[in-house]
Structure 1
Amino acid sequence: MLHSWDVSTGVDGPGTRFVAFLAGCPLRCLYCHNPDTRYLRDGRPVTVDEIVREAAGFTGFIHASGGGATVTGGEPLLQSAFTGELLHRFKHELGLHTALDTSGYLGGRATDALLSDTDLVLLDIKSWGRALHRRVTGREPAPTLEFAHRLAALGTEVRVRFVLVPGLTDPAENIEGVAAFAASLGNVTRVDVLPFHKLGAAKWRARGLDFPLADTPVPTCGELAAARAVFSAHGLYAV
């Protein structure tokens, strides 16, 4: 099930990228900006052929910019066979750099073949401690951490993403925990410290849902800089 697709620049990897948004996600992140991708029924049925044909129309521009293709969601590993075939054909049929944007919670569904067709994993590490991770996502952190170790053993390039939410994910020990873990892997080439925002609040309202962080402030530039400094102190390139 495909939720939507887009062509973007400088967001999910080098250059201009074709981005496929798949429907369905097992997490319930309090700050989710795409609640419209939570369920498989939120998408529309398409074939891999259809998506590859769409992407093929942009390959000239994508190749010229040094870009590629990203499969995201929702959570793309909820539809792991579909995602695997997409990545394979993006890479081998269209010759594109491939990226998988995932929370890693369903990393056990990623086959070795799927990962061999993935040039870059954009890994969302939501939080460090078990209790806080469950509060943020409703799920345990262990599957994500296990998946991260698997990627490290394979030598797969990883970019970690961490959302800074004032009053939620910003405790010093939480940021330090994520930073130390990321640094221990040896295959993390970049950390994106992303500021919490409320751009998805309208989507929550449209679905008849209360946005749980409606009264939470966005982080200041100083708070973002301080968080990035923690990652930098561990020898990581943080932006």
Structure 2
Amino acid sequence: MQTLQDTKTLNVHSIESFGTYDGPGIRMVVFLQGCEFRCLYCGNADTFDCDAGDKTHIDDLFKEATHMKSYFSNGGGITFSGGEPCLQAKKLIPLMKRLKEEGMHICLDTNGHILNHYVEEMLQYVDLVLLDVKHIDSDQHEKITGRTNENTLKFAEYLEANQKQFWLRYVLVPDLSDQLEALHRLGQHFQDYTQLQKVEIQPYHKLGVHKWELMGMEYQLPNTPQNTPEQIAFAKDIYEQYFRDVVVN
């Protein structure tokens, strides 16, 4: 039976106090537990389990964020990432509401698979969405994540229709998501989105392999090499044909 305490706690994997990667400025990044995707190259495989992590009261997260507020003056703020934060949208709503009352900038890093009335309400308090699009081809997306991209593309449509600014994040994996046709198709699909502010190319890396090993899981892309500088520059050149602001993270 769920207690009142349970309704005010989030399953948190970890917190990064001075993040500069997940949104603008200096940010407090809260990585939440739980994800419905099983990305072959996931760098946070230890966030898969919804019930793992530390149960953290939203009051404690609010206090930590307010203590860091002075560091957010350059456009920074708080980012909710994961895992998939939309799985805990209902509990995030009251916390985000309090943070907005304090004037904080809120980012949501999501794969866009979940869009229900809780997520829609939560988005009212989000200033910027970091939308992870794994592949524009639905079959390839399912190969990478275990799910099709239908919900993710609908999520993007919702953001556009509701004038919610977002950045598009794309992991460039050799022989998996770096195909010429796929890069052009993604550009063509999103080129007219007025709420799309930036495209972030994220080079493939193996920094999370040890997490798979610690969990007794077999890493799915052991023989996939990291991108060459030429491969990254090639993808950037293509996306710059469609988008004003393309960066490599």
Same fold (TM over 0.5): yes
Distance 1:41 1:110, change over 3 A: same
Q: In the TM superposition, what is the alpha-carbon distance from 1:87 to its structure 2 partner?
A: 2.2
Q: Distance in 2 between the 1:42 and 1:25 partners? A: 11
8 A contact 1:232–1:238 mirrored in 2: yes
Q: Distance in 2 between the 1:30 and 1:60 partners? A: 38
Partner of 1:235: 243
Larger helix percent: 1
Partner of 1:19: 29
8 A contact 1:71–1:87 mirrored in 2: no
Partner of 2:91: 82
Within the alignment, does 1:68 sit opposite 2:77 as a pair? yes
Query: Under a length normalisation based on structure 1, what TM-score does the superposition of the two structures give?
Result: 0.95
8 A contact 1:21–1:71 mirrored in 2: yes
Q: CA RMSD of the aligned region, Å?
A: 1.3
Query: Under a length normalisation based on structure 2, what TM-score does the superposition of the two structures give?
Result: 0.91
8 A contact 2:19–2:29 mirrored in 1: no
Which residue of the other structure, out of 153, 157, 171, is the alignment partner of 1:163? 171
Q: Alignment partner of 1:139: what SS?
A: coil
Partner of 1:153: 161
Q: Distance in 1 between the 2:244 and 2:158 partners? A: 19
Output aligned runs, 1:132-151, within 5 Å: 132-151=140-159
Q: Distance in 1 between the 2:37 and 2:30 partners? A: 19
- Letter of the structure 2 residue corresponding to residue 178 of structure 1: L
Q: Sequence identity of aligned pairs in percent?
A: 36
Q: Distance in 2 between the 1:88 and 1:191 partners? A: 28
What is the number of equivalent residue pairs in this alignment?
Answer: 237
Partner of 1:34: 44
Which residue of the other structure, out of 200, 208, 230, is the alignment partner of 1:222? 230
Q: Distance in 2 between the 1:91 and 1:200 partners? A: 33
Within the alignment, does 1:103 sit opposite 2:75 as a pair? no
8 A contact 1:2–1:22 mirrored in 2: yes
Distance 1:77 1:225, change over 3 A: same
- Letter of the structure 1 residue corresponding to residue 145 of structure 2: T
- Letter of the structure 2 residue corresponding to residue 49 of structure 1: D
Structure 2: runs of 5+ lacking an equivalent: 1-10
8 A contact 2:12–2:55 mirrored in 1: yes
Q: In the TM superposition, what is the alpha-carbon distance from 1:41 to its structure 2 partner?
A: 2.2
Q: Alignment partner of 1:233: what SS?
A: coil
Partner of 1:206: 214
